[in-house]
Structure 1
Amino acid sequence: MFAFSIVLGLIILFIVSQILKVFDLKGSLAALVVGLIIVFFGSLQWLILLLIFAVVSHFATKAMFDMKKARKLQEGEHGERSTSNVLYAGIIGLAIACINFAHTLLNSAPFGYFELFAISFSVINSDTFASELGVVDKNVYMITTFKRTTPGVNGGVSLTGEAAAFFGALIIGVSYSILAFGTLRIVPIVFVTGMGFLGCQIDSILGALFENEGKMSKGQVNFFSAFVSVVVSALVLL
């Protein structure tokens, strides 16, 4: 009955995502599959965190959308995300969920897989908030040279963008703490938020060095920035 309720809920969310244009059709199907894997290989709390990420990142994407569209900085035609967005954003979380499931089957000692899962999405959410909300700031500097550059360019940072990046990571940090412990715990919030914000800076550096040169795609930059943050976090937790 529980499994049926989860599947039904995800199907409803799939329909809602199409109505609100959160994803294109293939992106919604990919998100549905990701959600199913996350909830059964992780837990319901993992799925809730994933949904929080999807909702708040969509709000950031739709913020000031007309202005971003006029500057050709918008995501998709109406702010919708594609399959590649879903996979690059969720592939590390999926891997962590699978490792968690295998760990459970082996009855091994508990490890902070949910925290690593949260950190992977803290990075992506931090980057989304930075790129979607930071474009309003005209004082943008290239992270590798600190020279003035154009708003919206890969690797460009601003005070508004950095504040938005921190807030995006903080949302996931606070959500993780509530879902994992039922209350606000400073250390987990600081850790998840800090590693998410760090990953966003790595994303900007990779964007400046490789994405602008056509050597990496936006999705690949997202993946590697989240991967580095998760690996560093895992070493800390060990």
Structure 2
Amino acid sequence: MTSTLRRAAGFAAVGSLAFATPVLGVAAAVPFAVVAAVAAFVGEDGRFFELFARPGDRQDGRLTGLLGFALAAAALAVLATVPETRMPISAFVAAVVVVAYGNLGEQLVSRWNDGAFHAVAGFTLAGFLAAAGGQALVVSVTSESLSVPKLAFLAAVGAFVAALLREVLLKHDDPLVLVSTGLLLWLFYELPVDVSPLEVAAALALTIVLGYVSYALGTASVTGMLTGILLGVLTIVLGGFGWFAVLITFFGIGALSTKFKYESKRQRGVAEGNDGARGSGNVLGNAAVAIVAVLGYAATEQASVELVFLFAFAGSLATAMSDTLSSEVGGLFDTPRLITNLRRVEPGTDGAVTWQGELAGVLGAVLVAAVAALTMPLDPTVVSALIVALGGIGGMTVDSLLGATVEGERVGNQAVNFLATLSGAVVSVAFAVLLLL
């Protein structure tokens, strides 16, 4: 057994202390605190140090990785066992074992294939199984009520969130990954939604298959694939299949437009980096507003508020589609003009537009609007489609204006995409309130 695999097994053993939480109650943090104390004061000589030491720990002369992991687990244990906070014990257990057993799964798979995709797959699968088992154990011995579909949903979300955070952050930022995963699982646990077996099964099957296809075709990086899968699962379970139809319309056509005449765009200096494979930052820049709208929709039960989130979701994705098509198509033409003064500029200049790109952007907004009006609970259909399309076109225009005025060293492209999609959501909501409420 290699040293990295032994270390992962050691961390999994420490994480298994979470399984004792239903029995220990308010003392659940004590075992992790004891591990943290040992990690802080154990000497460099000895098998314990050799088992848990990471490369950086040998330089520091201290088991920093184990110390951070144990302290983070202890903090979450306090939240889960102190009555005033009432974090679900199942969410705490799931978060700890997702990270602990996910690391072990990654190391086991890496012995067979050390590719990035296989490592992430090993982490996610092992984390999912551990989280599902941990939650099932908690439900069986406590008064917590958790249906099997929601248990599977939370286990999947925890695994994908933890895997994504580990890819975005440093590989050994386990304390931050652990705390973030625990708090997010707490949020999703509290959402007042009924989760059906069909939704969970379909969400996992569809998003994993489509995520792998996007990675295999080179339209998404590993982090972009994970982000897309996570957003897809949340959209189907918390919104519905109609919401997912809108989301996948943007992802699918947007990815194809990025690959369209890619070599020509590369030669012109306007191609998307990383061979057109979208990363997590790009995906979140375009879809963060949409996923917040899904969460808001799931958290409310008032019809008028639900309608606001519906149009915010559709308007933001209409903007993302419109902006993507206008950039990818417009970048192929030699007559761009700066949107603020209509002077000719070089292709690829921030804020530059072409009539061909603008037309493609309008068609993209109309397409998303049509899909949204036909698949989401928006009524009347024609007026709703017009509202979404106006949001998309308005957001695309804001993106160009921001590109011409503020985008640069201080404000990056992802931030501009976020502000543009937020603007598209606001425009759609404003028209919906004016015309429908």
Query: Offset at 1:142?
Result: 0.6
Residue by residue over 1:120-149, the C-alpha shift from the partner in whole angstroms, topping out at 9 and shown as x without a partner, is 000011000010000122121111121111
Which residue of 91, 115, 129 maps to 2:311? 115
Q: Which amino acid in structure 2 is aligned with residue 109 of structure 1? A: A
The answer (yes or no) to whether the contact 1:115–1:176 under 8 Å persists in 2 is no
Query: Offset at 1:91?
Result: 0.7
Q: Distance in 1 between matches of 2:334 and 2:270?
A: 14
Q: Which runs of 5+ in 2 are unaligned?
A: 1-196
Which residue of structure 2 lines up, in the alignment, with residue 228 of structure 1?
Answer: 423
Q: Distance in 1 between matches of 2:318 and 2:411?
A: 21
Q: Distance in 2 between matches of 1:129 and 1:10?
A: 23
Instruction: Report percent identity of matched pairs.
Output: 26
Which residue of structure 2 lines up, in the alignment, with residue 95 of structure 1?
Answer: 292
The answer (yes or no) to whether the contact 2:311–2:425 under 8 Å persists in 1 is no
Q: Distance in 2 between matches of 1:9 and 1:230?
A: 26
Q: Distance in 2 between matches of 1:236 and 1:136?
A: 33
Matches within 5 A, 1:59-74: 59-74=256-271
Q: Distance in 2 between matches of 1:199 and 1:173?
A: 13
Q: Which runs of 5+ in 1 are unaligned?
A: none
Q: 1:169 to 1:117 in 2, by over 3 A?
A: same
Which residue of structure 2 lines up, in the alignment, with residue 203 of structure 1?
Answer: 399
Matches within 5 A, 1:1-238: 1-2=197-198, 3-104=200-301, 108-110=302-304, 111-112=306-307, 113-180=309-376, 185-211=381-407, 213-238=408-433
Q: Distance in 2 between matches of 1:96 and 1:182?
A: 15
Q: Distance in 2 between matches of 1:171 and 1:234?
A: 18
Q: Distance in 1 between matches of 2:214 and 2:310?
A: 25
Q: Which amino acid in structure 2 is aligned with residue 135 of structure 1? A: G
Query: Offset at 1:37?
Result: 1.4
The answer (yes or no) to whether the contact 2:319–2:395 under 8 Å persists in 1 is yes
Secondary structure (helix, strand or coil) at the match of 2:275 reads coil
Query: Who wins on radius of gyration, i.e. which is larger?
Result: 2
Q: Distance in 1 between matches of 2:283 and 2:417?
A: 11
RMSD: 1.8
Q: Distance in 1 between matches of 2:287 and 2:404?
A: 23
Q: Output the TM-score relative to the length of structure 1.
A: 0.92
Secondary structure (helix, strand or coil) at the match of 2:337 reads strand
The answer (yes or no) to whether the contact 2:393–2:424 under 8 Å persists in 1 is no
Secondary structure (helix, strand or coil) at the match of 1:138 reads coil
Query: Offset at 1:229?
Result: 2.4
Which residue of structure 1 lines up, in the alignment, with residue 65 of structure 2?
Answer: none
The answer (yes or no) to whether the contact 1:38–1:97 under 8 Å persists in 2 is yes
Residue by residue over 1:1-55, the C-alpha shift from the partner in whole angstroms, topping out at 9 and shown as x without a partner, is 3112321221111211111112101110111111111112211111121111111
The answer (yes or no) to whether the contact 1:199–1:229 under 8 Å persists in 2 is yes
Q: Which amino acid in structure 2 is aligned with residue 228 of structure 1? A: S
Q: Output the TM-score relative to the length of structure 2.
A: 0.51
Query: Offset at 1:180?
Result: 2.6
Which residue of structure 1 lines up, in the alignment, with residue 61 of structure 2?
Answer: none
The answer (yes or no) to whether the contact 2:323–2:399 under 8 Å persists in 1 is yes
Q: Which amino acid in structure 2 is aligned with residue 30 of structure 1? A: T
Of 157-166 and 3-12, the range deviating more from structure 2: 3-12
The answer (yes or no) to whether the contact 2:350–2:403 under 8 Å persists in 1 is yes
Residue by residue over 1:170-196, the C-alpha shift from the partner in whole angstroms, topping out at 9 and shown as x without a partner, is 110111122136999332222111210
Give the structure, 1 or 2, with the largest relative contact order (CA under 8 Å, sep 6 or more): 1
Q: Which amino acid in structure 2 is aligned with residue 22 of structure 1? A: T
The answer (yes or no) to whether the contact 1:62–1:79 under 8 Å persists in 2 is yes
The answer (yes or no) to whether the contact 2:314–2:425 under 8 Å persists in 1 is no
Query: Offset at 1:88?
Result: 1.0
Query: Offset at 1:60?
Result: 1.1
The answer (yes or no) to whether the contact 1:174–1:184 under 8 Å persists in 2 is no
Q: Distance in 1 between matches of 2:253 and 2:202?
A: 24
Number of matched pairs: 234
Q: Which amino acid in structure 2 is aligned with residue 236 of structure 1? A: F
Which residue of structure 1 lines up, in the alignment, with residue 15 of structure 2?
Answer: none
Secondary structure (helix, strand or coil) at the match of 1:175 reads helix
